[in-house]
Amino acid sequence: MGKKTVTFADDKNSEIKNDYEKFKKSSTAIESMTAPIKNIEDKWQLLPAFLKVKGLVKQHIDSFNYFVETELKKIIRANDMITSDVDPSFWLKYLDIKIGPPERPDTDHDAHQNVFTPHECRLRDLTYSGNIYVDVEYVRGKTRVIRKDTIIGKLPIMLRSSKCVLTGKSDEDLAKMFECPLDPGGYFIIKGTEKVILIQEQLSKNRIIVEGDKKGLVQAYVTSSTHERKSKTYIVAKNDGKNDKITLKHNSISEEIPIVIVMKAMGIQSDKEIAQLISGGNQTFLSMFSPNIEHAAKIKIFTQKQALDFIGSKVKVTRKIANVRRPMAEEALEILATVVLAHVPVIDLNFQPKVIYIAVMIRRVLMALANENLVDDRDYVGNKRLELAGSLLSLLFEDLFKKFNFDLKLNIDKLLKKPNRASEFDAHKQLMQHGDCITNGFVRAIATGNWSLKRFKMERAGITHVLSRLSYISALGTMTRITSQYEKTRKISGPRALQ
Amino acid sequence: MLCPADTPEGEACGLVKNLALMTHITTDDEEEPLRRLAFNLGVEDVSSLTGSELYQPNSYMVFLNGLMLGITRQPTEFVKDFRSLRRCGRISEFVSIYVNHHHTAVHIASDGGRVCRPLIIVENQKPKVTSEHIKKLKQERMKFADFLEQGLVEYLDVNEENDSNIAIYEREIILQTTHLEIEPFTILGAVAGLIPYPHHNQSPRNTYQCAMGKQAIGAIAYNQLRRIDTLLYLMVYPQQPMVKTKTIELVGYDKLPAGQNAIVAVMSYSGYDIEDALVLNRASVDRGFGRCQVMRKHVALMKRYSNGSFDRIGDPPVGAELQTGPSAERFNILEKDGIAGVGERVNPGQVIVNRHTPTNLNANIPINMPIANAPAIQFTWKHAPLVYKSPEPGYIDKVCITTTEQEQTLIKTLIRQTRIPELGDKFSSRHGQKGVCGIIVPQEDMPFSDAGICPDIIMNPHGFPSRMTVGKMIELLAGKAGVLKGELQYGTAFGGSKVEDMSKILIEHGYNYSGKDYLTSGITGEPLSAYIFFGPVYYQKLKHMVVDKMHARARGPRAVLTRQPTEGRSRDGGLRLGEMERDCLVGYGASMLLMERLMISSDQFDVHVCEQCGLLGYRGWCQHCKSSKHMVTMQMPYAAKLLFQELQSMNISPRLVLEEF
C-alpha cells in the first residue's frame, strides 16, 4: 500500500516536471501570457508552516516577548536617574534590566532544586512570575558603586513566552511537567487562576482622522501619543453658514483658538504664506479659507508676539509650582511646542514641521467640507490598532516603575535628611525594600482586570478574563477575542448596523 | 483579518470580534532607519517646503507613522522601491506602505498593533511560490521564514491590503493582480473553522455555532485529569469528527475533540421531537453516547490568625460520639486524617474536610511567649467543616494538600459526578442546530436499516427548511461516504470533499446517492413509507444540563427582610408568579387564587390596625391613640406592612381606612 502511494506521487512529480519542461521550451512571450496559470498544489501547506511561527495566539506571546526584551529596556532608559533634593552629590542610575526565569516564592527554605512549573502554580494557587533584576550605579559615601542583579519586584510571566520554562521543550518534557503540548500558552497564572489579557481595539494614535456630523460640523483630530504625553488636538470647522471659522481645540487651552492665530503664533506671520500653505494655489480652498485670515486681521493680530499673547491669555496653567510666573507668551509658546500635537517634534523652536502638519489638517477639513465622502470611517480596521498584553503591561510597568522611583526618592531624601547616621548610607537597601509595590501592582491589575494609571488618566475595567476551560476550543476562543474600547461611549453605529 | 462569523449575539454584537486564522499583530519597530531610507529614496524634507510645493499636482506627501517626512514626486516608484527593499529583507517584513490618492499621500507604518496577514506575491501574472517551493516545504528544507526572506510571501496590513489586488485562486490572476491568497478558508477564525461546509449555511447559523462551540463538553487538554479547576466538564468518550476541516487539524481539535459522531435519522418520531427536540437511542446512551463528567473543586484553607491561633483539622468523631445524634452519617466518609477519602461517594450534606476554627480570635496571646509555655494556652474550637452542598451525590476524585505563599495549608478536593444524557439535556450539531433531548427510546423501538443499523439520534426534518443549514446535510452525506470508505472526509470552507464524489462513493458501496436509506419501523416492523436521510453527523453535548437547573419547591426558606420566599435555585427559592402572570389572573377574575398566591402562600402577616387613626398598632394597642379601643386584626402581605413602616420612617403617614366587607 505504502509503495503504491509512493510510486503514484513520483508519477505526479514527474508529470509536473514534464509539464514544467514543456512549459520552459514553449515559453514565448505571448504563450506564457495566455497559458492558464497552474494551481500551486498543496499551497495550504504554507499555513501550518505559518502557524508554527505566527498566528493563533502567537501574537500574545510575540507582544509579551517584545515587552520583556525591548520595551522594558526603553522604559528604564527613559527613567534612569534618581537624584536627591537633599544631597546634591547623590544619584542613582539604572543601567540595565532583565527578567529572570519563574521562581517559587518560598524557594529559600525549599532546598530541592526542581523547576517551578506552571502546573504547580495552578495547583498551589501561586503566581507564575519571575524576578525583575536591575543593574544600578549609585553613590555611596564618596565612591561610585555598581550593583548587579538587584531584585525590584516580580513580573507575571506569560506561558510559552521566551521567559517561560515551557518554551522549546519537547512533548515528552512537557508531559513530565504535567503540561499539555497542545495548550497554546499566551496567558498568565495569577494566584492559581489562568488569566488572559484580551486584545483591545482602539483608534489609531498619531493619525489624522476627519469626521463630520449631521449638523455640518467637520473636525480633524489627532490623538498624539508619545512616551511623555498623551493629548488630543482638534481642528474644528463649523459649517453652519454664519460662523465658518476654523479653530483649534485642545484640552490645555480654555477656548477654541482661530487657526490663523495659531499659525501666526508658530511663526508664519505673513498672510500670503498661510494662504499658500493651505490652498497651494487652489482657488476653491482659498476662498473657503479666506474668512479666517480676515478674522485674524479684524481682531488685530498680525505678528507672532500678538498671537502668542492672545493664546497665552487662554492657556490653562496647571503647573503646581507657580512661584516662577512666566510671561503668558512664553507659556503659549511652550504649550504650542510640546503639548499641542505632541507627537510632532519641535526642535530648537523650529515650528515648520508642525505648521505644515496643521496646514495638512486644515486642508483635510476643507476637503471634507467640499466633499462629504472624504471623511474618514472610524470603524474601518485600517484606522484601528489592536493593543496586546505587551503594550498594556508596558503601560502598567512604566506607571509602577515611576511610582517606585518616586517612593524610593522620598525615602532616600528622608534618610539623607538625618544629620548623623550610624552607618554609611547605602541606597541599595532602600532599593530592595520596595519590591512589593511593583509585584502587587501587576498581580492586582491582572487579577482584577482594572488598569488604572494615574499618569495617563487611564481607568479601564475588564481588561483581563479568566481563561475559559470549558473545552479546548473555548480556551482558544478567549485567546483570539478582541474587545472594543468604545462600547459605552459610542452611539449605535457602524459595527452594529447588521440585519 | 477578523472572523466574519464569530461574534456574540445580542448586547456586544459586532463590538466583540475574533481574529481570523492567519492574522498577526505587529509590534513596534524602529523608525529611524525607515526615515533615513525614505530620504535616500528621494523624499524632500518638510522643513524646506512651502505651500506651493506641498500641493503640486503630482507631489505626494510622505508620512511615517502619522508624522510627515516630506514630499515625493514619484509616489509609484517610491512605493515600488520601498516594497522591493522590504521583500529582500532590508527592512522589517511588518512595515507597510501604501498610497492614498484622495489625500495625495504615501503612508509608511511601522507602529505596533496593526493587523496583518501573509499573502503570496504575484509578479508578471505569476505567483512567486511554485510547486517546487511547496515540495521543499514538505520535505522541511524550507521554513516559513525562508518564504519571507526570498520574497515569495509578504505580510500586508489592512491599509496596504486595500492598495493591492488580491486574487483568490490562481485562475483569477489578471494583469493588475499583485498578490495571491494562500487559502481562502483562512478568512474564518479558529472557532468558526470547526464548521464543516460553512459556505453552504445561512450565515447566522455559523454565528450561532461559534457561540455554541464554546459551550460544548469535550476534552480540555492532555493534562485534564491532573488539573483541579473550580468546574471542569469532560466528555467520557470524545471522538474526532468524521467530517474534518483543515482548520480542525491545524488547531488540534482532532486531538482534543468535543463531541461524538452520532448516526442521525432525519425523520419524525413519536411527537416527542417537536421544536427541535431530539430522540435518543437508549442503547447508545447506555454505550456511552453523550456521557460526561463534571468535576467540581471544594477548597478548605487552614487559616492562621493574628493572635497566633490557627485552624485545624479535627479527627472524625469516633465511638460513642459517632453513634449518638442524627448527624452521624455526615462524618461517614472521613478518613483518620479528617479529610474525605479518595473514591468515597459523597452525599449532600456530608463533611469533606472536618475543619475546626478557634473560638477566640481576638484574645491576645503574646506572640513572643516562650514555646515551653505554649501548651498552657487552651484554645477552644468550634466546628467549621467543609460540607458538600450540591443536591446530587458525587465521588471524591482527588485530594490535594499543599501550602500557599503565606504558609497556610490549603486542601483542595475534587468531586466527580458522571452524567448520562437524560431528558432535557442540550445537544447541538456543528451548524447552530441546538435541541434538547425529548425522549430516550429503547433500541427495539427505533427504526433500523436493512444493514441493521439503528440511529443514535432521530432529528425532526422541520429543523431544515427555515434554518437552511445545507452544510449539515452535506456533512451527513460526506460522513456517510467516509464511514463506508473507511476514511475521514473534509468539509473545509470553500473546498472540502465534493458532494458529487461523496455520492459516487455511496453508489460504489451500494447505497443511494442522496444518502437516503430504506428503514423499517421498530414498533410495527413494517417498512417506513419513505426513504430516510440517514448517516453520521457530529453532535456536541452542551454544558446546559437538566440536573443543574431542575428545581421545584413546596415550602422553604424566606428572605429576612420581606418574609417572601427566596429567589433562585441555589437558595431553594420559590417560583415567582410575576407581573404578567398576575395580569392573566386579574383578567380572568380569579381573585381568590390571586389572594392565595400573592399573600397566603407568600408573606401573609397579621397586623393590628387602629380604626380610629388608621395606623398600625401592636398586640391590640395603638401607640398613637394610646388606647386599645378600636383595634382590629387583619391580614396583609408583610411587604405591605413594611412599606407602611418605611413610609412612616420618612415622615409620610399612610393611614388605613377600614370598612366592613
Taking residues B191-207, report their average pLDDT.
92
Residue type, A288: M
pLDDT tens-place string over residues A16-64: 555 555 544 544 444 455 555 567 667 777 878 788 777 678 888 989 9
Taking residues B539-557, report their average pLDDT.
91
* CATH of segment(s) B24-182: 3.90.1070.20
Question: Active-site residue B276, yes or no?
Answer: yes
Q: What is the pTM of this model?
A: 0.86
pLDDT tens-place string over residues B587-620: 999 999 999 999 999 889 999 998 888 888 888 8
pLDDT of B373 > 60? The answer is: no
CATH 3.90.1100.10 assigned to domain A59-202+387-493? The reply is yes
What residue spans define the domains of chain A? 59-202+387-493, 209-315+327-342
A68-71 own/partner pairs: CB under 8 Å, 24+ apart: A68/A99, A68/A155, A68/A161, A68/A162, A68/A163, A69/A162, A70/B28, A71/A390, A71/A391, A71/A394, A71/B28
* CATH of segment(s) B193-221+234-290+431-541: 2.40.270.10
Lowest mean pLDDT among A70-84, A409-423, B621-635, B640-654: A409-423
ipTM over 0.90: no
DSSP H stretches of helix in B509-590: 546-549, 579-588
CB B344 within 8 A of CB B416: no
C-alpha cell at A208: 489624522
Looking at beta carbons, which residues of chain B come within 8 Å of A280?
51-52, 54-56
pLDDT attached to residue A9: 45
Looking at beta carbons, which residues of chain A come within 8 Å of B405?
105-106, 126-127
pLDDT attached to residue A436: 80
d(C-alpha B79, C-alpha B178), whole Å: 13
pLDDT of B135 > 90? The answer is: no
CA distance B301 to chain A (A): 11
d(C-alpha A175, C-alpha A183), whole Å: 12
In this prediction, residue B263 has a pLDDT band, given cuts at 50, 70 and 90, of: very high
pLDDT attached to residue A354: 85
Question: Following DSSP, what letter does each residue of B342-377 receive, concatenated?
Answer: TT-EE-TT-EEE-EEEES-SSS---TT--GGGGGGS
Looking at beta carbons, which residues of chain B come within 8 Å of A381?
1-2, 115, 158
Same fold, B24-182 and B193-221+234-290+431-541: no
Interfacial B residues in 138-167 facing A (CB < 8 Å): 138, 143-145, 147, 153, 157-159, 162
pLDDT attached to residue B258: 92
Same fold, A59-202+387-493 and A209-315+327-342: no
d(C-alpha A435, C-alpha A132), whole Å: 9
Residue among B221, B328, B585 at smallest CA distance from A118: B221
The number of residues making up chain B comes to 661
CB B31 within 8 A of CB B64: yes
pLDDT tens-place string over residues B335-372: 888 888 899 899 888 888 888 888 776 655 555 555 55
pLDDT attached to residue B540: 93
Looking at beta carbons, which residues of chain B come within 8 Å of A360?
54, 61, 68
pLDDT attached to residue B322: 56
CB B482 within 8 A of CB B488: yes
CB B413 within 8 A of CB B398: yes
Interfacial A residues in 187-246 facing B (CB < 8 Å): 199, 201, 204-208, 222
SS3 sequence of B73-115: CCHHHHHHHHHHHHHCCCCCCCCEEEEECCCCEEEEECCCCCE
pLDDT tens-place string over residues A67-125: 998 888 888 888 888 888 777 788 888 888 888 888 887 655 555 567 788 888 888 88
CB B351 within 8 A of CB B328: no
Backbone angles phi, psi at B475, to 5 degrees: -60, -45
Looking at beta carbons, which residues of chain B come within 8 Å of A476?
190-191, 251
Does A142 lie at the interface with B, CB-CB under 8 angstroms? no
Nearest CB neighbour to A483, from listed B16, B21, B194: B16
Does A492 lie at the interface with B, CB-CB under 8 angstroms? no
Distance of CA B378 to the CA centre of its chain: 51
C-alpha cell at A248: 483649534
pLDDT tens-place string over residues B527-536: 999 999 999 9
pLDDT attached to residue B377: 56
d(C-alpha A119, C-alpha A124), whole Å: 9
Interchain CB distance below 8 Å, B68 and A51:
no
Topology adopted by domain A209-315+327-342: 3.90.1110
pLDDT attached to residue A31: 47
CA distance A298 to chain B (A): 24
In sequence order, what are the residues at sequence separation of 6 or more whose Cβ sits closer than 8 angstroms to the Cβ of residue B196? B241, B243, B244, B245, B430, B471, B474, B475, B478, B490, B491, B492, B496, B538
d(C-alpha B280, C-alpha B282), whole Å: 6
pLDDT attached to residue A321: 52
pLDDT attached to residue B513: 93
Identify the three-state secondary structure at position A99. strand
pLDDT attached to residue A30: 46
| Below-70 pLDDT ranges, chain A | 1-38, 40-41, 55, 106-113, 239-244, 317-325, 420-425, 435, 486-499
B118 against A24, higher pLDDT: B118
For cell 445545507, what's the residue? B470
CATH 2.40.50.150 assigned to domain B293-366+375-419? The reply is yes
Interfacial B residues in 224-263 facing A (CB < 8 Å): 224, 226-229, 232-233, 246, 250-253, 255-256, 258
What residue spans define the domains of chain B? 24-182, 193-221+234-290+431-541, 293-366+375-419, 604-649
SS3 sequence of A250-278: ECCECCCEEHHHHHHHCCCCCHHHHHHHH
Interchain CB distance below 8 Å, B147 and A359:
no
Given B276, B445, B548, B572, the catalytic residue:
B276
For cell 432525519, what's the residue? B266
